[in-house]
Amino acid sequence: MDPSSNEQPARIDRYHRQSRVAVIGQAGQLRLSKARVLLIGCGALGTVIAEQMVRGGVGWLRIADRDLVELTNLQRQVLFDEHDASESIPKAIAAEHRLREINSTIQIDPRVLDVNSINIEMLCGLTDQQSPVDLILDGTDNAAIRYLINDVSVKHGIPWVYGACIGIEGRVSAIIPGTGPCLRCLFETPPPAGSLATCDTAGVLAPVAAMVASMQVIFALKFLVGESTIDHFPLWSFDLWAGRSRPVSILDGRRSDCPCCGKRQFEFLESDQIDMLARLCGRQSVQVLPSQKVTLDLKEIAQRLGSVGKVEQKPYFLRCQLSDPPGIGLTVFPDGRVLVHGTEDAARAKSICARFIGI
């Protein structure tokens, strides 16, 4: 341009390259800017999903995750760094900080909690004054939570995108209520506890998680810009080490006798039995949940635990390394969750919580 000219170069929008893709376009980009998305889980899958959705211009993103950043996460969880791990920052909070640096125009709502049948409808915007979410994205590593997501999806007509990865393999599918099969049409019951490989036993490669998460984002974008028929969303399976991928049509997968979408029995959502104990993948720890809704005063808890161990209080939780029993540590959250470190024995973890926290 002639430097003497008074004309200014046209402003290039940050989404210029994306909106020029024919399947998105300006209309699709506008739809994305108005979309409300819930991401459950912010680990290997969730961090990639969150970053791509925020860079792509989704208008509002709620991130729900119960966990804290650890050093072993950094191999595959792309939003976190060594500082986050050394400070044990909650994943949802660390993700929010990084995502706001990437795109300050996006509304991000981090929730540090354990997703369960009591709070999932609230997280979907179904029990407060906010609008319900348009889509749920599965970033979990927990089969039981996926059946809970499926229940709330079918009951309220909210689509969700399923993803899973372990070792060198991954799988992705989308559930569009009323259009195609739900998760229980394809896999009627959750696998028995302990029957599946975990990241502890089989590990996971970062490129596999990134591939699965990226395909989940593709499915999310397709839905949010207006492609909502089930033939656009096959069940994809991957073996990245062998370089194989396989789409399977689920057009005929819907079952009239499905307990969930056929008979509309939402047993995972309507159950008042929450899994109070959960061994955490990748750590010698057990999570213990309170039997009823509580709010703990962390300052008061810290004072009480000060006589039995070394206490470190953080903005979102407190930690105590107990003097007796030796080798046992506690991480206590305001919502009453307690991580008991140094054991995989659920009964022992529950006993320790009752003894020192009173839940």
Q: What is the set of active-site residues?
A: 199
Give me 94's structure tokens. Answer: 């660390």
Give me 169's structure tokens. Answer: 């393999």
Element (H, E) at 277: strand 277-279
Exposure class string for 319-344: b at 16+ Cβ within 10 A, else e: bbbbeeeeebbbbbbbbbbbbbbbbe
The CA distances from residue 104 to 18, 90, 96, 98, 101, in Å, are 18, 20, 10, 10, 6
Q: Supply angle C-alpha 294, 140, 142, rounded to 5.
A: 80
Asked whether 320 and 310 are in contact (CB, 8 A), the reply is yes
Asked whether 208 and 216 are in contact (CB, 8 A), the reply is no
The verdict on whether omega for the bond into residue 325 sits within 30 degrees of 0, i.e. cis, is yes
* Phi, psi values for residue 40, rounded to 5°: -105, 115
* Phi, psi values for residue 38, rounded to 5°: -105, 125
DSSP per residue over 55-83, as a string?
HHT-SEEEEEE--B--GGGGGT-TT--HH
DSSP 8-state class, residue 190: P
The CA distance from 150 to 223, in Å, is: 17
The CA distance from 146 to 133, in Å, is: 17
Asked whether 96 and 110 are in contact (CB, 8 A), the reply is yes
Of 289, 293, 355, nearest to 322 by C-alpha is 355
Helix or strand or coil: residue 179? coil
Give me 48's structure tokens. Answer: 């990639």
Where do we find the tokens 């590990």? 203
